[in-house]
Amino acid sequence: MQIGIDKMGLFTPNTYLDLVMLANARGVDPDKYTIGIGQDQMAIAPLSQDSVTMAANAALEVLDDDNRDSIGLLILGTESGIDQSKAGALYVQRLLGLKNARAFEIKEACYGATAGLMTAYDFVAAHPEQKALVIGSDIARYGLDTPGEVTQGAGAVAMIVVSAAPRLLALEPATAIHSDDIQDFWRPNYSKEAFARGKYSTEQYIEFFQATWADYRAQTGRTISDFKALTFHLPYTKMGLKALRTILPEATEAEQAYLLDRYQESTLYSRQIGNIYTGALYLGFLSLLEQSTQLAAGDRIGLFSYGSGAISEFFTGILQPGFEKQLAGADHKAMLAARRQLTMAEYENQFQAELPEDGSEYEIDLAMDNAPIILKGVKEHERNYQVRD
C-alpha cells in the first residue's frame, strides 16, 4: 500500500517587506541579503494573522467534498503556538468545519510538520480508510535590527496525507534520523523572539544533513544519482545550498548542474516569503513542483527536514502520475503578486504591535487583511476567530 501526500495548500499574509529597503535602512550592502543570504522579500504578519488563522487559510486550499469527512487526524506543527495548553489544531478544526478528528499540536522547532507527516504516515497505515491533515504554520521573529532580522517570515503549508493512491508524492519507507540536545536556536516561554547562535546553527544544520545523508545511503545503497531533486528546510535560501554543495561532488558534472537548477526552483517561494519555520521545507518542495518543467512521474525527490534543538530527518518520495494536476502554481503566483509592500515604518509598527495580555478587550483593524479566516480580536484572554462569508 502506498502512503503519501495527495494535495498541498499554501498561505502567506498579504503584506511584505522588500529586503533591499531593509538593507538600506540597516546600513547593510543589499547584496549581502539578496546574494549572501539569498532572500528578496519577507512576509510580515498583521495582528489578524497568527499560527491558527494561517494554518486554517492554507488548509482551505486542500479540503474538498471528497476528503473532508474522512479526516481522522489533524496535526498542527508550530513553534509560534498561541496557547500553552490548548492545541491550535482544535481552533483550526472548528474554523474548517471539521469534526471529531484526533487533533493536536506538535512542537519541535522547524521539524514539527515533519513529525506530523511521519505520524500521519503511521496513522493512515493503521487506518487506511481515513486521511490526515498536516499543517506547518509559523511566524518567524528574531527582532528588529538583529542578525536574524533578514531571515524572518510568515506563512503556512497544509498537506493531505492518504493511503492507497496519493496523487502527488508517494513516501518511501526508508528515512534517516539524527538528533541530539544542542542549543543552536530556542525561544523561552517569556520571549516573543527567538534566540539564535547564528553561525553555530548553520554549522549544525550542515553536520546534521551530512549525518542523515550518510545514514540514508548506508541504509538503502542509493546514491545521489538516484535523485532528480533534493529539497531542504530553508531558513534562508543560501542555507540549503550550503548543505547541498557538501554532497554535490558525489554527482557527475551534468547531474550537479541538473540538481542545482532544481534547487533554484525550490527557492523561489522562500525568497519571497522568508522563513516559515515548520512549513519551510514543504514551501521549498511546493516551489520546486510549481516552478519546474523538468520533473516527471516516477522521479525520486529527497527532503531534508531540520528542527533546531535539534533533530533532522532525510526522507524521500516518488512523484505520482498526474501530479501536475494537484498543483495550484497560478493561484500561488497570484497570491504573492497581490501582496502590498510595507514601508519601513509600517513594518516596524506591525512588528511591534501586540495583543493585550491583561484580559482587556481589543478589536483588530481588519481593513487591510482580506484573508478568508482572520483573528478579530481578544476578550477576557480568549482569541476571537472568524471565517468570513
Q: Does 239 bind ligand CAA (CB under 6 A)?
A: yes
Q: Does 201 bind ligand CAA (CB under 6 A)?
A: yes
Distance CA 288, CA 36 (A): 21
Say if CB 139 and CB 154 are below 8 A apart.
yes
Rounded to the nearest 10 degrees, the angle between the axes of helix 344-352 and helix 19-26 is: 90
- Closest approach, Cβ 17 to ligand CAA, in A, equals 15
Three-class SS state of 156: strand
Q: Does 381 bind ligand CAA (CB under 6 A)?
A: no
Q: Is 79 a catalytic residue?
A: yes
- Closest approach, Cβ 386 to ligand CAA, in A, equals 30
> 91 vs 205, which CB is nearer to ligand CAA?
205
Which residue out of 61, 105, 110, 313 is catalytically annotated? Answer: 110
Say if CB 116 and CB 75 are below 8 A apart.
yes
Which residue, 10, 23, 39, is CA-closest to 239?
Answer: 39
User: Which of 2, 20, 21, 36: binder of ligand CAA (CB under 6 A)?
Assistant: 36
Distance CA 61, CA 51 (A): 16
The site map against ligand CAA for 153-182 (x = CB under 6 A) is: ------------------------------
Q: Does 143 bind ligand CAA (CB under 6 A)?
A: no
The amino acid that residue 241 corresponds to is: L
CA distances for 199 relative to 147, 206, 300, 307, angstroms: 10, 11, 32, 16
DSSP3 helix / strand / coil % (the chain, rounded to 5) = 40, 30, 35
- Closest approach, Cβ 98 to ligand CAA, in A, equals 29
Q: Does 314 bind ligand CAA (CB under 6 A)?
A: no
Q: How far from each other are the two terminal CA atoms of the chain, in whole angstroms?
A: 40
- Closest approach, Cβ 27 to ligand CAA, in A, equals 12
Q: Is 110 a catalytic residue?
A: yes
Options 61-69, 86-94, 141-149, 378-386: segment touching ligand CAA (CB under 6 A): 141-149
Q: Does 365 bind ligand CAA (CB under 6 A)?
A: no
Three-class SS state of 47: coil
User: Which of 57, 78, 202, 231: binder of ligand CAA (CB under 6 A)?
Assistant: 202
- Closest approach, Cβ 369 to ligand CAA, in A, equals 25
User: Which of 91, 277, 315, 385: binder of ligand CAA (CB under 6 A)?
Assistant: 277
Report which residue's Cβ sits closest to ligand CAA.
36
Three-class SS state of 333: helix
Say if CB 58 and CB 156 are below 8 A apart.
yes
User: Which of 31, 66, 365, 382: binder of ligand CAA (CB under 6 A)?
Assistant: 31
CA distances for 198 relative to 25, 80, 323, angstroms: 21, 19, 37
Distance CA 91, CA 71 (A): 15
Q: Write the DSSP symbol of residue 279.
A: G
User: Which of 24, 122, 128, 147: binder of ligand CAA (CB under 6 A)?
Assistant: 147
Contacts of ligand CAA in 62-81 (CB under 6 A): none
Binding region for ligand CAA (CB under 6 A): 29, 31-32, 35-37, 110, 142, 147-148, 150-151, 184-185, 196, 198-199, 201-202, 205, 233, 235-236, 238-239, 275, 277, 306, 308
Catalytic amino acids?
A: 79, 110, 233
